[in-house]
Amino acid sequence: MRVLVTGHCGYIGAVAAPMLAEAGHEVVGLDAGFFAGCDFSEPDSGPSYPSIRKDVRHLEARDLEGFAAVVHLAALSNDPLGDIDPELTYDINLSGTVRLAALAREAGVERFLFSSSCSTYGAAGDELLDESAAFNPVTPYAVSKVKAEQEIARLADDRFSPVFLRNATAYGVSPRLRLDLVLNNLVAHAFTTGLVYLMSDGTPWRPIVHIRDITAAMIAALEAPREAIHAEAFNVGRNAENYRIRELAEIVAEVVPGSRIEVSPTAGPDRRTYRVDCGKIERRLPGFRPQWDARRGAKELFEAYRRAGLTREDLAGPRYKRLAHIQRLLALGRLDSSLYWT
């Protein structure tokens, strides 16, 4: 299947695009290049594929002709980044995404995989939530995902099948590492400072999922029969991988030698707390068989940080933190206020 992967140079995309190619798909990548130079490691050797440097907001229908599917990962990718200016998040993650889906349908693309998020459930408490649960987003990022799902769903017809993959919080090693994700961050703090540092009181729930399992879900959704995925939403993860933040901290403290848990003096409860039921993806997409859990992921991260010689300066700097990197590009005048290259 010929597949366009947007955001192929990002945290998930840098792993997903090669995995899709290895699975036998004809991959073309598309990326705006915001995070060029933010490399953690060289990509694994594997199938090569062509790529296009272009902002998704500049695409036209002709750019999408000849593709059987689009895997849409490109986005302003977390809550702090959304706080620069919520309108930028809505411009890229909502308007840009819905426009892309409409262009894909116009160009004859049959399947559109939208990388959504379980953060759409937001402030949800202790109940285990399936895909029919009410949305309760609490950040511009989560609101953009909710509204994009709703708008794209209206485009579904006999020829165009959108799929909504609501990923749990991602973790894992990538050539475009992020340290602004909970497990990645906890292990990085533990490795570089000896402290598993909690910014909240540790009580919020988070479902987590490895980026390679996220990609496995994409592959399963691409290869499943149309009737299994047409206009459907799937929580991506495993039921056993719902953790309280404190539980993740305890796992990290056990994995990273000599580390101990410390809670920030300003720590308090986090409104974002949710647990998700991933039974639907297990039933409907039998090709999806997740392989990772938090302990294995923490070990992978620790070993990667040790090999790379990750430092406290890396932890504080912009290379692995999306908000800090974008702010740096803005300050240098390389991006304008709408996040277009100057």
Query: Contact 297/182 with Cβ under 8 angstroms?
Result: no
Look over the chain and give the mean of its residue pLDDT values, rounded to a whole number. 93
The helix/strand/coil state of 283 is: helix
Tens digit of pLDDT for each residue in 316-336?
A: 889 998 888 998 999 999 999
How far apart, in whole angstroms, are the C-alpha atoms of residue 271 and residue 213?
A: 27
How far apart, in whole angstroms, are the C-alpha atoms of residue 139 and residue 229?
A: 28
Query: Contact 16/27 with Cβ under 8 angstroms?
Result: no
Query: Contact 49/17 with Cβ under 8 angstroms?
Result: yes
User: Average pLDDT, stretch 289-294?
Assistant: 96
Give me the pLDDT at residue 164, please.
98
Give me the pLDDT at residue 232, please.
98
Q: How confident is the model at residue 178 (pLDDT cuts 50, 70, 90)?
A: very high
**All structural domains of the chain with their residue ranges:** 2-331
User: Is CATH 3.30.565.10 the right assignment for the domain spanning 2-331?
Assistant: no
How far apart, in whole angstroms, are the C-alpha atoms of residue 341 and residue 32?
A: 9
Buried b (16+ CB within 10 A) or exposed e, 323-335: bbbbeebeeeeeb
User: For residue 43, is pLDDT > 60?
Assistant: no
Of all residues in the chain, the percent with pLDDT exceeding 90 is 83
User: For residue 23, is pLDDT > 60?
Assistant: yes
List the beta bridge partners of residue 29.
5, 51
How far apart, in whole angstroms, are the C-alpha atoms of residue 265 and residue 7?
A: 37
Tens digit of pLDDT for each residue in 115-139?
A: 999 999 987 778 899 999 999 998 8
More confident residue, 200 or 156: 156
User: For residue 57, is pLDDT > 90?
Assistant: yes
Q: How confident is the model at residue 46 (pLDDT cuts 50, 70, 90)?
A: low
Please state the pTM of the whole predicted model: 0.95
User: Average pLDDT, stretch 29-56?
Assistant: 84
Task: Count Cβ atoms below 10 Å from residue 315 Cβ, excluding itself.
Answer: 19
Of the listed ranges 12-16, 236-240, 269-273, the one predicted with least confidence: 269-273
User: For residue 20, is pLDDT > 90?
Assistant: yes
How far apart, in whole angstroms, are the C-alpha atoms of residue 95 and residue 339?
A: 14
Token digits of residue 80: 């702090």
User: Average pLDDT, stretch 175-197?
Assistant: 96
Dihedral of alpha carbons 14, 177, 268, 203, sign:
positive
Query: Contact 269/322 with Cβ under 8 angstroms?
Result: no
DSSP 43: P
Q: How confident is the model at residue 266 (pLDDT cuts 50, 70, 90)?
A: confident
